[in-house]
Amino acid sequence: MLEYISNHYNYWVSILLMMAGLYIVIDHTNLLKKLIGLNIFQTSVFILFISLGKVDGGTAPILEKGYSSFSNPLPHVLILTAIVVSVATTAVGLALVVNINNRFNSIEEEEIEQIELEEE
């Protein structure tokens, strides 16, 4: 049992953080906080992928004399792309929040629903 935990604890950490991010996105009504929850979710997925690529006793994937075992470079490449895409989506999301605030003068979900109902 202890050996099972020590072999799989990286998945548990990643799933815990993923659920924390998901909870923030579903539950909180403030739009900016939802974006931060989305960021937490994305970072936990990165941690999952990078921990999949680690090799025991290996080193960073840069060729160097004297090392023979390297960590897998393929997840690093995918996550590098994903990090830059995540900042692009965060920027577009923030521009949308600024526009919503300009139109409704509020960034809370429930207040915005209230204003939309009154305008009909």
Partner 1 sequence: MSVQKNPILRETSHLLIPAILLFALYVQFHGEYGPGGGFQAGVIFASAIILYALLHGTKKAEKVISLNLAKALAAIGLLLYEGIGLLGIILGGNFLDYNVLSHDSVHGQHWGILLIELGVGMTVASVIICIFYAFSKFKR
Partner 2 sequence: MLAMTAIAIIAMRNMLSVIMLGGIYSLISATLFVVLDAVDVAFTEAAVGAGVSTVLFLSALAITGKHQALTRKNHIVPIFVVLVTGAGLLYSTTDMPSFGDPQAPVHTHVAPRYIEQSYDEIGIPNIVTSVLASYRGYDTLGEVAVVFTALIAVLLLLGLNRGSRKD
Residues 13-52 that bind partner 1 (CB under 8 A): none
Interface pick for partner 2 out of 2, 45, 46, 118 (rule CB under 8 A) = 46
Interface pick for partner 1 out of 19, 95, 96, 115 (rule CB under 8 A) = 95
CB atoms within 10 A of CB 8: 10
Question: Which of these ranges, 1-9, 12-20, 34-42, 88-96, lies near partner 1 under the rule CB under 8 A?
Answer: 88-96
Is residue 92 part of the contact set for partner 2 (CB under 8 A)? Answer: yes
Residue 115 contact partner, candidates partner 2, partner 1, none, CB within 5 to 8 A by sort of partner: none
Task: Return the number of the residue (17 or 35) whose C-beta is nearest partner 1.
Answer: 35
Q: Which residues contact 97 (CB under 8 A, 6 or more apart)?
A: 31, 32, 35, 107
Q: Is 75 helix (H, G, I), strand (E, B) or coil?
A: helix
Fill in the DSSP letter of residue 105: S
Terminal Cα-to-Cα distance of the chain (whole angstroms) = 60
Residue labelled with tokens 């906080």: 33
